[in-house]
Amino acid sequence: MTDTTDAKTHIADTVKANDVVLFMKGTKSMPQCGFSSRVAGVLNFMGVEYKDVNVLSDEGIRQGIKDYSDWPTIPQLYVKGEFVGGCDIITEMTLSGELDGLFEQNGVTFDKDAAEKIREANA
């Protein structure tokens, strides 16, 4: 188990070292909760390269990420070191096109057609 100081350092290093990071329950190929599955599904469908961090594999990280962001729930998405939000926020941003803009501003590659298909399917 990671202690809180180590967890905070590990989280900060991970967020800084990767353009897009998703702290989630499970992994991008095998999410272990519906909310994590929804966010990972959006990122996977849009072809976004991202680092997945399974909070279930380390209690220090699981609690540490909540303290780090001052956000009580998981999943948590970070883009270029900045906390973006959890499942509801990412869902809203995807449907409004705001997530596309955030990725474009930060030079994150994604499939615009796939993003549009998500919006069409949810219109």
Known binding residues for [2Fe-2S] cluster are: 33
Q: Which residues are annotated as a binding site?
A: 33
- Gap between the Cα atoms of 18 and 61, Å rounded: 17
Say what angle helices 112-121 and 98-105 make with each other, to 10 degrees. Answer: 170
